[in-house]
Amino acid sequence: MPIPSPLLRTAILAFGAAVALAACGGSKEDDAKAFNACLTMAKTKLPKAEFAALDKAKINSLQDGTVAVVIPYKLDGKDANVDCNTQKQQDQSFKVNYSNLP
């Protein structure tokens, strides 16, 4: 089998890296769904809290398909964060499978 040229090898590696990065990163739509799942759960536990908007939240897609969401909020004059891990379901919705709220 002939050895590919250095240019072809570089192109193949670059393509592979791009595909791997695309697979790891979540889409903006998935980020919004994960945020909304976390926010909905948080509002049931802290109905009087003021929650930050999506653009102020920290959202991180993990390799196992979990999306970690941190939403700042204010309650009784104190700042805090809701920390959730969400998992994408077969119907494309997100379910909270961990939260730092009681």
For residue 72, tell me if it sits in a domain. Answer: yes
Phi, psi at residue 26, to the nearest 5°? -85, 155
Sign of the CA dihedral with 31 first, then 62, 64, and 37 last: negative
Residue 9 has pLDDT above 60, yes or no: no
For residue 21, tell me if it sits in a domain. Answer: no
pLDDT at 23: 46
Phi, psi at residue 16, to the nearest 5°? -60, -40
pTM of the model: 0.74
The CATH number given to whatever domain includes residue 92 is: 3.10.450.630
* Interval 47-70: pLDDT, tens: 999 999 999 999 999 988 899 999
pLDDT at 65: 86
Report the chain's mean pLDDT, rounded to a whole number. Answer: 84
